[in-house]
Amino acid sequence: MQRRAPTDSCSVTARALQVLEAFTPERPVLRLADISRHTGLPLTTAHRLVRELAGWGALEREPSGGYRIGLRLWEIASLAPRGLGLREAALPYLSDLGHITRENVQLAVREDLSVVYVERLAGRDAVKVLTRVGGRFDLAPTGVGLVLLAHAPREVQEQVLSRPFVRHTEKTLCTSDEVRRVLAEVRRTGVATSDRQVTMDAVSIAAPVYGPDNTVVAAVSVVAHADAVTPHALAPLVQVAARGISRSLGARLRSSVA
C-alpha cells in the first residue's frame, strides 16, 4: 500500500523511519525509485536518506543496485529486553517442547494491539504457519494472542473488542461476546486454544509466561495439525515449558499460577 506523502513538518528522523518501513517481508529488496514511491518522498530526499542509512549500516546495497535492511539494525534491536533476553531464557524450554511434540513452537509478546513473535522453532513435518520471527499478527485469533489479551490491561482488551474482527477462516471468532467468553476461560484455566481460527489445518495451544513481578510478559505455544493432535494432551506440556521460562525470568510462581 502506497504511503501518503510526508508533510513539510515531517522531521528528518520521521522520514528516515519511513524509508525503513518501506521494506516488508513481501518486498525485502527495494531500488531507490521503489523507496521513493512507497514513502512518497521526493527522489532526491530518498537518495540522501538512503545514502546516510547505508553509511550507518541500517541499509545494505545489493550487487543488483537494490537495498535491503542492514545487519546493524538487528544488532540494535537485539538489545530490546523483550527480544534477545527473553529469547535466551526461553530457548532451552522451547527446544525441549519442540523435541517432545515435534511440532511448531512459538514465543510471542504483545506490542500495542498486535502479537510480535520473538522466536519460532519449526518441527520437521509440522503444519505450515503464517508467522515469522519479528512478524506481527492479530491478537484474538491466535493462541499466544488470546493469552496475551486475556492478561492485558482492561483498556487494551476494550480497544481490541471494539474493533472489527478479521475472519481468517470459518472458525474465526468474530464477535466481542465470543472473544470475551474465551478470554475468561483462558484466565480460569491458564491455557488458550485457537482451533483452526487462522488456517483450517492448524490448532494452537498456548500458556502465559510471567516476569519477575508475576505479570504476564509473553506467551508460548505449540502449533500442530488440527486433525492429528488432542489439545487437552498438549496443554500440560506447554504449561510446563511456560512455567520453566517464567522461573528463568525470576517469577515467583504460586500453585494457582499455571
152 confidence band (pLDDT: 50, 70, 90): very high
Residue 83 has pLDDT above 70, yes or no: no
Same domain, 72 and 85: no
Residue 163 has pLDDT above 80, yes or no: yes
Sign for the CA dihedral angle at 55, 58, 61, 65 comes to: negative
Average pLDDT over residues 221-232: 86
Same domain, 47 and 160: no
| Interior/surface letters 113-132, b for 16+ CB within 10 angstroms, e for the rest | bbbbbbbbbebeebbebebe
Please work out, in degrees rounded to the nearest 5, the angle formed at the alpha carbon of residue 117 by the alpha carbons of 191 and 229.
45
Element (H, E) at 67: strand 67-69
End-to-end CA distance of the chain: 42
Same domain, 49 and 101: no
Q: What would the DSSP string read from start to end of 90-138?
A: HHHHHHHHHHHH-SEEEEEEEETTEEEEEEEE--TTPPP-S--TT-EEE
Residue 237 lies in a domain: yes
Q: What would the DSSP string read from start to end of 171-221?
A: T---SHHHHHHHHHHHHHHS-EEEESSSSTTEEEEEEEEE-TTS-EEEEEE
| Interior/surface letters 162-189, b for 16+ CB within 10 angstroms, e for the rest | eeebeebeebbbeebeebeebbeebeee
Same domain, 138 and 208: yes
CATH of the domain at 35: 1.10.10.10
Same domain, 57 and 91: no
Among candidate residues 113, 109, 110, 129, the one with its CA nearest the CA of residue 121: 129
What integer pLDDT is reported at residue 258 of this predicted model? Answer: 43
**Domain limits at 61?**
12-76
What integer pLDDT is reported at residue 82 of this predicted model? Answer: 55
Average pLDDT over residues 216-227: 92
Residue 4 has pLDDT above 50, yes or no: no
What integer pLDDT is reported at residue 1 of this predicted model? Answer: 38
What integer pLDDT is reported at residue 7 of this predicted model? Answer: 47
pLDDT per residue as tens digits for the range 165-207:
999 999 999 999 999 999 999 999 999 999 999 999 889 999 9
**Alpha carbons within 13 A on the beta-carbon side of 93:** 26
Same domain, 197 and 243: yes
What integer pLDDT is reported at residue 126 of this predicted model? Answer: 75
* Joined grid coordinates for residue 199: 488456517
Residue 103 vs residue 80, higher pLDDT: 103
Amino acid identity, residue 116?
Answer: V
What integer pLDDT is reported at residue 142 of this predicted model? Answer: 93
Q: Are 142 and 198 in contact (CB under 8 A)?
A: yes
pLDDT per residue as tens digits for the range 36-60:
999 999 999 999 999 999 999 999 9
Element (H, E) at 235: helix 231-248
Same domain, 90 and 71: no
Residue 104 has pLDDT above 60, yes or no: yes
Q: How many domains does the chain have?
A: 2
What integer pLDDT is reported at residue 257 of this predicted model? Answer: 45
Q: Are 147 and 186 in contact (CB under 8 A)?
A: yes
What integer pLDDT is reported at residue 79 of this predicted model? Answer: 65
What integer pLDDT is reported at residue 124 of this predicted model? Answer: 75
Q: What is the mean pLDDT of the chain?
A: 87
Share of the chain above pLDDT 90, in %: 57
CATH of the domain at 189: 3.30.450.40
What integer pLDDT is reported at residue 122 of this predicted model? Answer: 83
| Cα–Cα distance measured from residue 131 to residue 118, given in angstroms and rounded to the nearest whole number | 10
pTM reported for the whole predicted model? 0.71
| Cα–Cα distance measured from residue 232 to residue 238, given in angstroms and rounded to the nearest whole number | 10
What integer pLDDT is reported at residue 129 of this predicted model? Answer: 76
Residue 65 lies in a domain: yes
Residue 6 lies in a domain: no
What integer pLDDT is reported at residue 2 of this predicted model? Answer: 41
Residue 5 has pLDDT above 60, yes or no: no
Element (H, E) at 60: strand 59-61
233 confidence band (pLDDT: 50, 70, 90): confident
